[in-house]
Amino acid sequence: MKIGIDGTVFTQQLTGIGNYVYYLLLELIQIRSNDSFYIYAHKELVKQFNFNNVKIQIVSDQVLSKNRFLWRHFVLPQQLKKDHIDTVWVGIGVAPFWPVSCPIILTVYDFVYRVEAETMSWWRQLYFELIQPYSVRKATKVQAISQSTADDMLKYYGRKADAVIKPGTEPQFYPRERSEIETVRKKYGVDGEYYLMVGTLEPRKNIPLFLTCYIDYINKNGVSIPPLVLVGAKGWKDTEIVQMLNKAKVQGVVKTLGYVDFEDLPSLYSGAKALFMPSRYEGFGMPILEARMCGCPVVASDVRAMREAGGEYTFYHTPDRKGIMAMMEKVFSNNSLLSSDQGKSVDWDWKTGAEQLSNLLGSKQN
């Protein structure tokens, strides 16, 4: 079988969705070693796929290749037909608009444009309003990243997910020794105790409100609390976030690291007093699961999908000011509230997810 892959997600630094597609695909390629994989993109990939059954196809168009959205909708379908692809996995959340000559397996991550529309740019919101419902209707099979997303897809579009494939974690996510933690802390200039936040700087992460509460708690109680270390690349509609972070850095409340090397994340998790994830909405919450695996306690918003990632060992709060302040009163006055199961209650991984995805793709080649 010839399996096509929308590889546009591999043309830039990998974060949440990129890592999800990448590690699921690595397992899928090995499970279906007798099949041929064609990874399509509009420009060179930042990741390598050193497998005999993988072919990288950089399909360039003088005009459309300048925009990955246009490329996906109008160039990719033509190339799938030209290469006689049997089925295509589009793990980027939306399917090509132009007719595709083979079955489409689509991954749906979230419904930000419906739940937190104001956190998106107007053009991105419009894009998803037009394309996502069409994609879900058009796809041969649809898999969701969480049961929460699957439930929302049924609610909004009336379509039941063919599978729920939750993110796994890579083998590197486990509690690290003190020497490893100190090496990574020194690399990034992190001194002493710290709390951690991981995620792209964008509005639904709720960073401005959380920072305001953090500073207000310090001022109200006249106490010294370890700083927040933020890991994450710049996102969108982040002007207010950046301004607040700059002020907080002057006060010594925050340290921003930007995008860090993926191999350093386990040590940053392992050395943190806790991971804070106060998002207003998530499709799953991959940092929560990564932190758990590293033995890092997690404090997160009480959002349905994040409960799937956090399980019963996460300390939850509502993502509003009242909930955040109440949480801080409890956590900062009683650290014993926080604990971690090191992911021992997690009964899924990338391999089990890839097996589910393989079933959606159809019969393997003999």
- Give the pLDDT of residue 52: 96
Q: How far apart are CA 288 and CA 308, in angstroms?
A: 10
Q: How far is CA 313 from CA 30, 133, 338, 347, 348, in A?
A: 33, 35, 8, 15, 17
Residues in CB range of 335: below 8 A, 6 or more apart: 273
- Give the pLDDT of residue 335: 67
* Nearest one of 20, 30, 108 to 348, comparing CA atoms: 20
Q: How far apart are CA 335 and CA 273, in angstroms?
A: 9
Q: How far is CA 207 from CA 121, 175, 247, 288, 303, in A?
A: 18, 26, 13, 16, 16
How is residue 186 written in tokens?
């020194």
Handedness of CA 77, 82, 87, 92 (dihedral sign): negative
Q: How far apart are CA 109 and CA 136, in angstroms?
A: 12
- In the chain (366 residues long), the average pLDDT of successive 10-residue segments reads 96 89 97 97 93 94 79 93 97 92 96 90 90 95 98 97 96 95 96 93 90 92 91 80 84 90 95 96 95 96 96 94 95 80 89 97 72
Q: How far apart are CA 107 and CA 153, in angstroms?
A: 11
* Nearest one of 166, 142, 165 to 154, comparing CA atoms: 142
Phi and psi, residue 304, nearest 5°:
-50, -50
This model's pTM is above 0.85 = yes
Does an H or E element contain 197, and which?
Answer: strand 195-198
- Give the pLDDT of residue 364: 67
How is residue 3 written in tokens?
């399996």
- Go through the domains of the chain in sequence order and give each one's CATH number: 2-167+348-361 (3.40.50.2000), 178-337 (3.40.50.2000)
Q: How far apart are CA 126 and CA 26, in angstroms?
A: 33
Is the Cβ–Cβ distance between 102 and 85 less than 8 Å?
Answer: yes
